[in-house]
Amino acid sequence: MTTDTERTIIGLTGGIGSGKTAVSDYFAALGIDVIDADVIAHRLTAKGSPVLDVLKAKFGDWVVDTDGNYDRAAMRAYIFDKPNELATLNAIIHPLIFDEITHAISRSQSPYTILSVPLLLEGRHKTPNLLSLCTHLLIVDVPVAVQLERASRRDANAQAQIQAIIDKQISRDERLSLANALGADVVDNTGTLDELHAKLAPLHEHYLAMAKSA
């Protein structure tokens, strides 16, 4: 991870349905800048964007729907078992996301910054490497059964579809093992929203202290 002592960047990650948004919303409500890689990816592929033209040239016109919007579901289905096509997509999108994130970090004015990236640990060996931007990690953890229930309810997808996505991510055991190796904070999010906030409050104070001493 980064050795930059000027900024404190907390990398936030966790499996699908773990509650990363609830965590980032809590910090945002306290005035902490949140940079969300998913939000940036959606903005980059918004209707009429140059990126969509690149994707259409590479994959075909089917990447946009009849309204001209990026058809994420169609792309997700297309690349699901095609590692080479996934690599092609990532080679187009990821450098752009990385650049947007570094620019957003440079503009951040809060004492520390939350960088939310769903596959932060999965991409630790890739270039560009978002993990290298982080000074510390916060991992949201729930059992797989909770992931399945929450994500299927949120996205209106069958649990079999959610399980297939989970299977493409690193396992919970591997995520927790990496958390231990990297000295990450791990917050259990199996309880209520109030219980989650009670666990995050001392972490906020800890991160403020980290930023002050940086």
Global pTM value: 0.90
Order of strands, sheet of 33-36, starting from the edge strand that comes earlier in the sequence: 33-36, 113-116, 9-14, 136-141, 185-188
Q: Where are the alpha helices (DSSP H) in 110-192?
A: 144-155, 159-168, 172-181
Instruction: Please write the tens of the pLDDT for every residue from 79-116.
Output: 988 999 999 999 999 999 999 999 999 999 999 999 99
Strand partners, 11: 115, 137
Q: How many CB atoms lie within 10 A of CB 57?
A: 10
Known binding residues are 17-22
Alpha carbon distance 41, 101 (integer Å): 10
Domains assigned to the chain: 8-33+112-213 (3.40.50.300), 41-107 (3.40.50.300)
Known binding residues for ATP are 17-22
Q: At what angle do helices 144-155 and 159-168 cross, to 10 degrees?
A: 120
On the question of pLDDT at 127 being above 80, the answer is no
* Band of residue 153 on the pLDDT scale cut at 50, 70, 90: confident
Between residues 181 and 151, which one has the greater pLDDT? Answer: 181
Strand partners, 141: 188
